[in-house]
A and B are shown apart, each in its own frame.
Chain A
Amino acid sequence: MRANWLLIILSIGLALLGWQVLAQVGSFPTFMLPSPAQVWERFVTTLEDGSLLRNSAATLLEVLLGLVLGVGVASALGYTLAKSLPLERLLSPYIIASQSIPIVAIAPLLVIWFGPGLISKVLICALIVFFPVLVNIVVGLRSVPQDLRDLMRSLRATRWQTFRLLELPAALPVLLGGLRIGATLSVIGAVVGEFVGANRGLGFLVNVGRGMYDTALVFVAVFALVAMAMLLYGLVALLEAHLLAWQKENTE
């Protein structure tokens, strides 16, 4: 574990070094490739004037609300679909078709309909999160062993008890897998939404940086986005480690 961390830090250090060398040797204009040092400077200024935090907070809010909405709707629909094969047959063509529409193409529509504010971004995030989570929930619920279902039935468990005591814990590994994918996708959704039309957020910051040839600012925003996606991913992984402790192999 410790060696792992050292390796990660080492590889980041090497990448930064390579970047710095490339920037200096190539002597590219700053608007093409700023050096790490320049990006760091820009990072400090955006931190000091509060713009980085403000825009990060805006994006994070969109991401989280979108995640909650997407996961919520996908869970409810997924549970219904998993319970009813006819309903799944009926609805799955629409669901799959909805998936073949690139989110980038309908993002402008959503911004036109719901304005450039929070709501359109949340909807875009929710849409992009929806499908993978839905699929995972259906797969997770369908994979609950029939013998355990029979056990619950023989014990005369209510629907709610079956859900709480069997289906939820049994489907949790697959479900959290979906959440992990969903969390990173939600960040992408927020950026797509902000590209189309927004006056705040990290995607907006990227746009601003691009418009002013302030490439260092673009780098800062991109790194902030990566950090946010990794943070969310890490949080879900942490949740997994905690909730799925029973699944871990005993390797000691």
Chain B
Amino acid sequence: MNPIPALVINHLSAVFPTEDGGLHALTDISFQVQAEQFVCVLGPSGSGKTTLLRCLAGLLSPTQGEILLNGEPLTGPRQGVGLVFQKANLMPWRSVLENILLPLEIQGLEKEAALDKARQMVELVGLQGFEASLPRDLSGGMAQRVAIARALVQDPGLLLLDEPFGSLDALTRERMGDELLRIWQARRKTVLMVTHSISESLFLADRVLVLSPRPGRLRLDLAVNLPRPRLAEMRYSPAFADLARQVRAAIE
């Protein structure tokens, strides 16, 4: 195992200023994530999951505590972190390919090399033939795949996903989960993914974290010791059901 954890979170608190003393979104959260681990974060609505991800992405500075990314303190957005938002969050005036190109364009990568990478991503998420389509012509699932491709195009070591499949129907959702696993296995990344679905988290993750309702404490840190590759049948196994019961109990 890698001696330096990919992610160290020490006594993290996030308080939003309000008139009556502040809204505690996260309180004293501590955990570590090893490199190439797949971690899912669950919790009721308003428990601070998005806030946690925004802290990890460097978009929000925590009120207290520190975050170490590969051993270095995080002070702002970092190269090598891919972020997928709760909505697809595409630029409506850019085509699929151009949306995926955006991070490389900002990075200042040479045009040909950038196009090459972007095309690879299009293939990876199975959107060949839609390169020139505009976001308005995509289904919700396709848009979300573009968002994932955009997050992956810089080949980030850490992938942060905020309910990436939230708006999808159950079947598409399972298929996207499979695709995400495939990508994760092929590219060996550290993944932190927020989800509302217990079975999805157990199916995908090595580990499940559960946040409590406000003030957002870490309530459960559960290792998911199901063998990989994860197969659809496992969803009906006793071990799966047992884990699901534990997670459910922590959320309620």
Which A residues lie at the B interface, using CB under 8 A?
A: 145, 147-148, 150-157, 161, 165-166, 169-170, 172, 246-247, 250
Tell me which residues across on chain B come within 8 A of A147, comparing CB atoms. Answer: 85, 87, 89
B134 A246 Cβ-Cβ under 8 A: yes
B89 A151 Cβ-Cβ under 8 A: yes
Tell me which residues across on chain A come within 8 A of B134, comparing CB atoms. Answer: 246
Q: Which B55-96 residues have a C-beta within 8 angstroms of A?
A: 57-59, 76-79, 81, 83, 85, 87, 89, 91-94
Most buried by B among A151, A153, A169, A172: A151
Given contacts A169-B91, A246-B93, A250-B137, contact A156 B85 (CB under 8 A): no
Tell me which residues across on chain A come within 8 A of B79, comparing CB atoms. Answer: 156
A145: min CB distance to chain B, Å = 8
Tell me which residues across on chain A come within 8 A of B171, comparing CB atoms. Answer: none
A164: min CB distance to chain B, Å = 10
Which of A154, A165, A246 is within 8 Å of B77, CB to CB? A154
- Contact mask for chain B residues 125-168; partner A; CB cutoff 8 A; 1 contact, 0 none: 00000000010110000000000000000000000000000000
Main secondary structure of the interface of A (DSSP, over half): helix
The reply to whether the CB of B33 lies closer than 8 angstroms to some CB of chain A is no
The reply to whether the CB of B244 lies closer than 8 angstroms to some CB of chain A is no
The reply to whether the CB of B215 lies closer than 8 angstroms to some CB of chain A is no
A153 B89 Cβ-Cβ under 8 A: no
Tell me which residues across on chain B come within 8 A of A151, comparing CB atoms. Answer: 83, 85, 89
Residue of B nearest to A149 (CB): B59
Identify 11 residue pairs between A and B in the complex whose beta-carbon atoms are under 8 Å apart, listed by A's number: A147-B85, A147-B87, A154-B58, A155-B77, A156-B78, A156-B106, A165-B102, A169-B91, A169-B93, A170-B93, A247-B93
- Contact mask for chain B residues 90-124; partner A; CB cutoff 8 A; 1 contact, 0 none: 01111000000011011100000000000000000
Q: Report the separation of the CA atoms of residues A166 and B91 in the bound assembly, to the nearest whole angstrom.
A: 8
Given contacts A165-B105, A246-B134, contact A154 B89 (CB under 8 A): no
Q: Report the separation of the CA atoms of residues A169 and B103 in the bound assembly, to the nearest whole angstrom.
A: 17
Given contacts A147-B85, A250-B137, contact A155 B91 (CB under 8 A): no
Q: Report the separation of the CA atoms of residues A152 and B85 in the bound assembly, to the nearest whole angstrom.
A: 12
Q: Report the separation of the CA atoms of residues A150 and B77 in the bound assembly, to the nearest whole angstrom.
A: 10
The 4 closest A-B CB pairs, nearest first, are: A246-B93, A147-B89, A154-B77, A157-B106
Q: Report the separation of the CA atoms of residues A129 and B48 in the bound assembly, to the nearest whole angstrom.
A: 46
Residue of A nearest to B59 (CB): A150
Residue of A nearest to B104 (CB): A155
A148 B58 Cβ-Cβ under 8 A: no
Q: Report the separation of the CA atoms of residues A145 and B137 in the bound assembly, to the nearest whole angstrom.
A: 20
Tell me which residues across on chain B come within 8 A of A150, comparing CB atoms. Answer: 54, 57, 59, 85
Given contacts A151-B83, A250-B137, contact A156 B77 (CB under 8 A): yes
Tell me which residues across on chain B come within 8 A of A157, comparing CB atoms. Answer: 106
B75: min CB distance to chain A, Å = 12
Tell me which residues across on chain A come within 8 A of B92, comparing CB atoms. Answer: 246-247
B93 A155 Cβ-Cβ under 8 A: no
Tell me which residues across on chain B come within 8 A of A170, comparing CB atoms. Answer: 91, 93
